[in-house]
A and B are shown apart, each in its own frame.
Chain A
């Protein structure tokens, strides 16, 4: 989580990583997941939060959160 807390994320989803100089873009759901990850929540917990917030099925939310975490991993942000 330390890596994540270094990221500068603005409301529009522009992310700057001062550590590597890389920039990223994400969307609203991505911002939400990132901030919950920073809070130390697990994938399961975050899926619960997104499914409630967006009123979608828990199974869909869980699949998407898992996919997002995979993306973060492939970008070496996790």
Chain B
């Protein structure tokens, strides 16, 4: 026998509109390692499913972004958006690279400090800042960006209590041509609300306005939206400086750059639709330089999250079962579900196999392990027939998953990082029963009697 390579038997009906031998996915996408460490070794060491971060990718992405902006503008600072991924190791790595912290809650604020970040190097954003945390931040000298009128009042009270003037920024929102417009955070520029906020701050006399903050949305595919944002912010900054005598020391333009992930409902692949970081940097910096007055270079702050960390994260999963659906579609049950892959609601991930598999690819469904109908990782991905035990590597998953994941019917998995030296290091242990039940209280009368 010469043709002894075994392929699982398969038969496909030819249907108009689907008679494309290649369709989506001519190649079998194989990934045997992450940064040189074999998938199998990672699973042996830490189990499956397993989140894996690449230090090399993380630092690489940060540097690419930082350089794109700092090569075009003299005064650039990045604030690491904690909510995107606040694992200590990830934050530390980015702080080592020079990013300060950007937090949006008391919890995140404390987490940054716990990691050793000075309050001065924390940007405190968000619509819900507790009184205590405002006080702490004001004492620490953090950069606080005010979201609403109540917060102006709260901070004035803090200022009175501390008996000092507090430097603050305000968050603004505006039309940048992006739909939907994120108009619920901060003060609107076009309606005059932002100017009212400045008037209010000036009238109170306890706060000193020294910065503007804005975040126009996320996964923005249109560099021009940032030109609009920057233009309006600069205009507003000068209006504030000229009319109220404040000096705007920083313009924080938020985050929102896309990663090379594939949004559901976007037909073309990310390599084609996602503009390069240079295009964004050019839009921002050119607009700044065109609109700023001579010799005025306020600090440009960026709070890029997704575009830095998303592509640095992978999820290794394992095929647990194979099932043919009544309509003939092949489906797989894997050991990771939508509860730990929050971004699967928006993304169609890149799915790679850990080994060569012969056989014709067919559109298959990938289900998670939750006993829930919504637990679908991919509704249709072209895969050759897989064996139980095959590892599927899902990416990019570095942004928002390990912060928004949900504990549901099972433990959340381990997270590791592959250091630049190529060493896999555990950075968050898999949960156990104790983690989940620790806070439960069973009043005596509810205890089951032996």
Contact = CB atoms under 8 A, between A and B. Distances in A.
Q: Do chains A and B touch in the complex (CB under 8 A)?
A: yes
Interface in B322-337: 322, 324, 326-328
B9 A27 contact: yes
A64 B11 contact: no
B6 A71 contact: no
A15 B1 contact: no
A13 to B, nearest CB: 9
Contacts of A67: 8-9, 322, 324
B10 interface: yes
B13 interface: yes
B114 interface: no
B96 interface: no
A27 B360 CA distance: 8
A54 B11 CA distance: 19
A39 to B, nearest CB: 16
Contacts of B6: 29, 50, 54-56
Nearest to A67: B324
B359 interface: yes
Contact of A28 (B3, B326, B327): B3
Query: Looking at A27, A29, A68, which has the most chain B CB atoms within 10 Å of its CB?
Result: A27
Interface residues of A, number: 28
A53 B359 CA distance: 17
Contacts of B373: none
Given A54-B4, A71-B324, A74-B327, A30 B11 contact: yes
Interface residues of B, number: 22
> Secondary structure of the B side of the interface?
loop
B11 A26 contact: yes
A33 B12 CA distance: 15
A7 B381 CA distance: 30
Contacts of B33: none
Contacts, number: 70
A37 to B, nearest CB: 11
Interface in A31-51: 32-33, 50
A71 B14 contact: no
Contacts of A24: 11-14
B7 A27 contact: yes
B10 A68 contact: yes
Interface in B350-366: 359-360
Nearest to A33: B9
Contacts of A60: 387
B336 to A, nearest CB: 24
A30 B11 CA distance: 7
A63 to B, nearest CB: 8
Contacts of A50: 6
A5 interface: no
Nearest to A23: B14
A71 B4 contact: no
Contacts of A64: 8-9, 385
Given A27-B359, A64-B8, A68-B10, 5 more contacts: A24-B14, A26-B10, A29-B9, A68-B9, A68-B11
26 contacts: A24-B13, A25-B14, A26-B9, A26-B10, A26-B11, A29-B7, A29-B8, A33-B9, A53-B1, A53-B4, A54-B5, A55-B6, A60-B387, A64-B8, A64-B9, A64-B385, A67-B9, A67-B324, A68-B9, A68-B10, A71-B9, A71-B11, A74-B326, A75-B11, A75-B13, A77-B11
